[in-house]
Each structure stands twice: as structure tokens, then as C-alpha cells.
Amino acid sequence: MQKQSQDATLANEASLSRREALIKLLRLGGVAAGTAGLGFWLSEHSQHPEPESAISFRRNHAVAADPAFPEMAIIQGDNPEQLARQAIEEMGGIRRFISRTDIVLVKPNIGWDRTPEQAANTNPLIIAEIVRQCWNAGAKKVIVTDVSCNEPHRCFQRSGIAEAARHEGAEVIFPEPARFKDVDLQGDVLHAWPVFDPFLNVDKIINVPIAKHHSLTGTTLGMKNWYGILGGPRHQLHQNIHESLVDLADFIRPTLTVIDCYRVLIRNGPTGGNLEDVLLKKTLVAGTDPVALDAYVAKAYWNLDVPALPYLQIAAQRGLGTYEFEKVRTRVKRLA
């Protein structure tokens, strides 16, 4: 099959608006793949901080906007590593995001004691390729980590992410209790909270969530993935979950977001477990506007609009991006 590559001039597709064309693209990609409750490791192994001891700062790892490059890239194909490599290339190349001597943290979702086929954690092959790309840009160090919901060593091992990351020379850091620091998140609803310290001491952060259903928020995508920087009783944040999501997204702004849609946990998330809940979509969506990426994937796979996802509107009002994904500069490529 001859390789196809098209820049995203989707508005030209016959009888389709740009928005409709983008949504159709994700919905048609791939085929069906398949024929426990929430873990409390966090609350048992880290404590809620005393407010007076919390340090106060925010981390903005974003690169400067450049109209020469797209704000979103949608790549489809059979090979997850090739998808990640091509997505970064379409966004301007890894050297647009990573400089020589940067310490880079790659943040997958490693929340659950699940295999890659169950689509509860980020695809390890995508993580491996992103680590390789960072080394190619001359990074000083590449770290791969997350704060798991189930027991971390089992999550890191069974997901395949620890092995894949180490094979490419990344440092894999487990969320040990002693490594949480009390931080004032300066949010509207989030204030003093324990933050896993690797996220506080790096130059660049690449956010690599997997697209999943979530029983509380409808979906868990890029912005929800920031729950994985926190210790303490995270379940308490569910009372104001949409405001909490935005506070976290404002606290750590990523260099790049890469949403793994290779396998999509379409229902019974975020833990999953049943292969019948997984769709094989063979797609990756990358970009510099985390709000647009979340809005796009939520609409395409779960038909969720802004009223169903209040955090998108709150994030847009706070200047974190736009939920009108059809208006961002987009490039599409289908790989052979």
C-alpha cells in the first residue's frame, strides 16, 4: 500500500465542515480490538501537607508559539513508535521542544495494574519512541514517572512502561513517599498539596496520556493526567473535580501533549480490564494546546461537548487554550 500523506486541509472535504471532518477522522480510525475499584496506595503512603510548610511556585514548560507549525497533529497508522515519531516531526521536530542539556520528564499514565492490551495505561512503545526522540535532541537526562493508583511497582512492570523506558536509557522513578514535597498550587480550589518532586526539578515535560473513559468526568485525557503528579488523598478532589483539573493544568503547563489513541478504553474506565471495552483506533493526537486536544478527542470518541466537560470552559477562560478545536492549525497524516 502506497504511503499517503496529507496536510490537514480538512475543510475541503466534500460536504463536511472542518469540525465534522476532524470528528469523522477519529471515529473512523481503526477497528474493534476486543472480542476493581479505585486503588488507595496514594492516601496510604503520602500525607496531606500542613499549609504553613508548603512551597509556592508554578512551572511553565511550554515553548513559544510559532505560526509556521501546527497546533495539533493527528497521525494514523499501524506502528505506535512510527506514530509518535511522525507526530513530533509534524509539530516541528523534537528540537523545537527539547534543547541540548535539558532534563526532560515524560509523563505517561501508569495508574493501573493492567497490560497494554487493556488500554488503562499509556502504550509503552509510544513512550519508548518519545524517550529516543529526547536523546536525539541532546537531552541531558530523560525521566519517566507517574504516581500510580494501584501499587506502583506492579503498575510500572505490568504496563510494560518501565522496561520500555529503561531499554531506551531513561531513568524510571517510582513514587516513593519520601519524594513528595508540600507545594502551594495557587489554584482556585487547590492550595497546599503533596507533589511528587521529579515534576518540580526538570526543564521540559511531555504529557503522554491515554484516551480513556472515566466514570466521573466522562473522559480522562491530557488535563486529567496531571492527577499523576499528586500524592495524598486524591479522591477528595472529586468534590470539585473540574476546577481541580484546571488548577493542575495551570500549575504545570507542558512542553508538548501527546494523546495515545492507539487503543482507546471506550467504557468502564479508568481501570478497565475487559478487552471488549477497548477499540483499536491506531491514532495519535499531539499538540501544544492541551484544551483543544482534550476537546477534540472527547467529542470524537464519546460525543462530549463543553457542557458535559465544564473543565474545558474553565480552562479556556483561564487562558490555557481553546475548546474550539476546529479553529486550531491542524495537520493530518495517514501512514502506510
171-129-74-331 Cα dihedral, nearest 10 degrees: 100
Contact call for residues 324 and 81 (beta carbons, < 8 A): no
In a domain, 4, yes or no: no
112-126 tens-digit pLDDT? 999 999 999 999 999
Cα 92 off chain centre by = 19
> 86 pLDDT exceeds 60?
yes
> 5 pLDDT exceeds 60?
no
> 37 pLDDT exceeds 50?
no
Domain count, the chain: 1
Can you say whether residue 13 is alpha, beta or left, with left for phi > 0 and alpha for psi between -120 and 50 degrees? beta
In a domain, 110, yes or no: yes
Q: Which domain holds residue 60?
A: 10-334
C-alpha distances in Å from residue 114, one per residue of 30, 88, 149, 154, 261: 22, 27, 12, 9, 17
At residue 29 the predicted structure's pLDDT band, cuts being 50, 70 and 90, is confident
In a domain, 107, yes or no: yes
> Of 279, 45, 241, nearest to 153 (Cα)?
45
pTM for this prediction: 0.89
CATH number at residue 329: 3.40.50.11440
In a domain, 5, yes or no: no
In a domain, 40, yes or no: yes
From CA 301, how far away is CA 123, in angstroms rounded?
Answer: 18
Q: What is the DSSP letter of 65?
A: P
Average pLDDT over residues 161-184: 97
In a domain, 3, yes or no: no
Can you say whether residue 197 is alpha, beta or left, with left for phi > 0 and alpha for psi between -120 and 50 degrees? alpha
In a domain, 265, yes or no: yes
177-230 tens-digit pLDDT? 999 999 999 999 999 999 999 999 999 999 999 999 998 899 999 999 999 999
From CA 100, how far away is CA 85, in angstroms rounded?
Answer: 19
In a domain, 25, yes or no: yes
Average pLDDT over residues 32-54: 41
308-322 tens-digit pLDDT? 999 999 999 999 999
Residue 283 or 11, more confident = 283
